[in-house]
Structures are given as C-alpha cells and as structure tokens.
Structure 1
C-alpha cells in the first residue's frame, strides 16, 4: 500500500486540465477588425536603438531596411531623406531624458506623428511640436500632483496651463493649415413663410439715424 506522501506525488504528476480557448465577444471582434483595418491603412513606423562595439546606433525597426525607411518617410509626410534624418534627430533629443536614445520615447513620439498623418513637412514639424508639448504638459502635470509647497504648486500650475493652451493652439493651427484658409458656411435650416421670399447675400437695412444703411 503506497504511503500518503507517494499518493501526493502521483496526484501532482497528473497533466493540467485543458481549457477552451477564449471566444471574443461581438464587440471585441468588431474592435479587432477596426484595429487590423487601421494598421493596413497606415503601417507602423518605428525606430530601433542598437548597442554595439562601435557605440549606439539607430535605424528603422523593420526586417527590410528599405521598407522600414519608406514607412518612416510616409509617417513624416516627406520624400526627403535629409528632412527625415534631421527630424528624427530632433525627435530623439526631445524624447530621450538621458544621454542615450530612449527607444520607447522615440517610438511614442513617432506614433503620435503617424497618428496625426502629416501630409507634408510643415505638418510633420507641427506634429512633432505637438508631441513635445504633450510630453512637457504631462511632466508638469506629474509635478503638480507631487508639490510640497505653495510656490511649487503655483509654478507647476502656470507651466501646465500655458502648455495646455499651447497644445490647443497647435491643433487649431493644424486645422487652419489643412483647410488652406478656406471657411465653409453651412446653413442648417431656412424657413420661408407663405408669401415670403428667401434672400441670399448681404441685406441693407436703413439705419435709425438716417445715415448709411446697416449691412447684415
């Protein structure tokens, strides 16, 4: 008759129960479909930081160097290699807190720029500035949450408010640039009573003082 200790050993050697694979809900399936479609429309653009005997080097994070470079060019809205290299250098300086390039920080900024989908170099530069302002805003938001005295609170609060307003201004600037300065006026509803007539354009109404008519 086996000992109790032997029984425990035999029980623990049994294979684990096989569990059924997870079945996504309809909402999760729809989210997965949107995710795949979004990735197909705009491929990700990433940078890889490598450390070797010659030092630290950066390059496209892609199995094929040419394809990875094209993905970066498209993400930055340009076909110019000098522009791409210069802007990537600036992104590296902004996104890295230490002396060495921060791969995660660089790719975060790139993901922000890629999400904005710049159409040219101007929009790419503005997108990078927006990412930089966002990083600075979050830095002062963290400082504001850990202040120890009133002067620290006031300083962090002022910087946070200025940066938040700057980010909003940048969004408006991007919208204006993309609209080419054109303004669209949309009429939601026009009601004309029986016997009346709709008028389109400026309407002159005599002023109360008898001078020049008022224009509406």
Structure 2
C-alpha cells in the first residue's frame, strides 16, 4: 500500500496533472479499433474452476454468459461447430494445450480460444486446424522462454531446435489453411507480348511450340 504524505503547512500541493489529450492519429486508430470490435461476432469468455477430487485436480470449464445455453450457441457459431460434441471436444483440446501440470489457466484458455475464433473458421476442419495452430503457437512461446532460461549451451541448442521446428510447423499450418480455403484451385495464366514492326502489340497465351509467326 502506498501512503501519500500530507503537504506541509505553508506549501502548496502539486497541481493536478492536465488530462492527456490524444492526437488526431490516436483518435483515428481508436475509432478504427472500435469499428472492428463492432463487426466482431459476439463470443463469450470461458471460465475455469479448479477443484480437488480425492487428491486429483479437476478442471471444470464453462461458458461465462448470463444465459449458458445461448453462450454455448454463440461459441459454437464463432468456431464453426456443428454440434455440442465437437464444441466440447474443442474446449477440451484447448485446455490440454494450456495446461501446466494439473492446472488449466483461464487466461491462457481464453487466449487460445481467441486465436481459433479469430480465424473465423467456416467449418469444423478449419476449427480443428485453428486449435492445432493455437497449440503450436503456445508451445513455440514456451520453447522461446526455455531457451532464454537455459543454463548450458546444450540445453539452449536443444530448445533452439525445438523452437525452429515449431516455428516451421506453424508456417506450414498457415499454408495448409490457405490451401484448404482455396479448395486447392490454382490458376496460373502466362502471357507474352510480341511487338511487330510498326508498333503493333499482339498478346497471346504461351504454349508449347509457340513463337512469332
């Protein structure tokens, strides 16, 4: 607790600081952030309660919403779930990704969940990939922490290798999501331009045996 001393007699207390006036760029950024939040789907938070059952730590996961049934429906819509079974499995998977020992951390749980619905998954495959991406990202950050805390070069190199593998895995997951969303369709059109005498340009598709006639 901090105690503010009383001003001595005869001395004037420090004047109240003038309220900060944000710049025009800050106000514009604040407005853009507010607009983006208005367009975001309503997604409730998750609350985690830890309890003991015969010496075993049990984590109870529930939606934090005044109307639990509505809360679960909003959450299912946000992650592209088609059933309560998939939603429950998704939450269980995220809990495993953020679990430390026998404790599921509520803040980390909501962070991981925000990464999934932030991808705006359109179906359960995208949602599942989002869960894996969240797990890999958290593991990557833990590997970076362990590397910084390593006491020997051997441990540091081991954590560095893990960090590199996890980072490459995350990039591969991003590419996989992009390919899945494009349904594997890739169209590449290559054209050449031939300029003939007199300045007339002829544009045509490039193919085998193609050339100037």
Q: Shared fold by TM > 0.5?
A: yes
Q: Does 1:202 align with 2:207?
A: yes
Count of aligned pairs: 197
Deviations 1:74-116 (A, max 9, x none): 2211231110001101111111213232101110101111211
- Partner of residue 164 from structure 2, selected from 144, 161, 165: 161
2:46 alignment partner in structure 1: 47
What is the DSSP-based 3-state SS (H/G/I as helix, E as strand, rest coil) of the residue aligned with 2:183?
A: coil
1:178 alignment partner in structure 2: 181
Name the one with the larger strand percent: 2
2:31 alignment partner in structure 1: 33
**What is the Cα deviation at residue 181 of structure 1?**
0.6
TM-score of the aligned structures, taking structure 1 as reference length = 0.78
Q: 1:53 to 1:17 in 2, by over 3 A?
A: farther
Q: 1:182 to 1:121 in 2, by over 3 A?
A: same
Q: 1:51 to 1:132 in 2, by over 3 A?
A: closer
**What is the Cα deviation at residue 205 of structure 1?**
5.2
Q: 1:70 to 1:36 in 2, by over 3 A?
A: farther
1:4 alignment partner in structure 2: none
Unaligned regions of 5+ residues in structure 1, if any?
Answer: 1-6, 207-216
User: How much is the aligned-residue C-alpha RMSD, in angstroms?
Assistant: 2.9
**What is the Cα deviation at residue 142 of structure 1?**
1.4
Q: Does 1:94 align with 2:92?
A: no
Q: Which has the larger radius of gyration?
A: 1
